[in-house]
Amino acid sequence: MMIDPVLATLAQASTAIVMLLGAVAKWRRPAAFRHALAGYRLLPDALTAPAAFVIAATETLGAAALLFPDTRIFGAIALIALLLVFAAGLAFNIVRGHTDIDCGCSGFAAMQAATQAATQAATQTAMQANAPRGIGWFHVARALLLAALAATAFIEPAARSVVWFDYLTLFFAVLLIVCALLTFDVLLANVPRLSHLRNS
């Protein structure tokens, strides 16, 4: 089985960018990510901070490695393992009914929230902190989708010449996919708030 080199690069670059954005948000707000990780109730308190650091570091290094041919396989292995563990943690909490937690996905939505919180009054910030949160099967699907995109690194690319039009197509396609995934992140982040407003 072979894959077109442009499609392979498209899948891997999109995954790497989304994961890097998530990693940046985790490095910018380490306390918030540690709090989100603790909310999963899967680790002892003493391991939460080290695990948060390992996750952010793996996300950063794996995403960066996925962008380069010589390290692509290692990056894909790291990201797929991380995403599968993340999906399993999400699914475990959903099955046991523990869904009122922050997914810790971070990314664009988290960075946007951080910027807004920094510019608002203390009372408004407190209201944001108490805003409804939640995880669902769409979060699991998102993690599995990213893992599947990263897995294209294991498929041998077809041997064909890449022309200038391919680079143009690749640029706009990556932009479109990343924007779509980030929009999906924002929608997932706001579903609990919308449900809360509808039921209030």
Q: What confidence tens digit (pLDDT) does each residue in 115-160 have?
A: 454 444 344 444 444 444 678 898 999 999 999 999 999 998 888 8
- For 4, the token pair is 């077109």
> Model confidence over 80-109: pLDDT tens digits?
999 999 999 999 999 999 888 888 876 545
Which of 107, 85, 89 lies closest to 32 in space, CA to CA?
107
Q: SS3 of 113, please?
A: helix
The arithmetic mean of pLDDT across residues 21-30, rounded, is: 91
Beta bridge partners of 156: 2
As for how many domains the chain has, the answer is: 1
Residue 191, C-beta contacts closer than 8 angstroms, at least 6 positions apart: 134, 136
- In angstroms, the CA 53 to CA 50 distance is 5
Residue 42, C-beta contacts closer than 8 angstroms, at least 6 positions apart: 89, 92
pTM: 0.80
> Structural domain of residue 157, as residue ranges?
2-199
**First vs last C-alpha separation in the chain:** 53
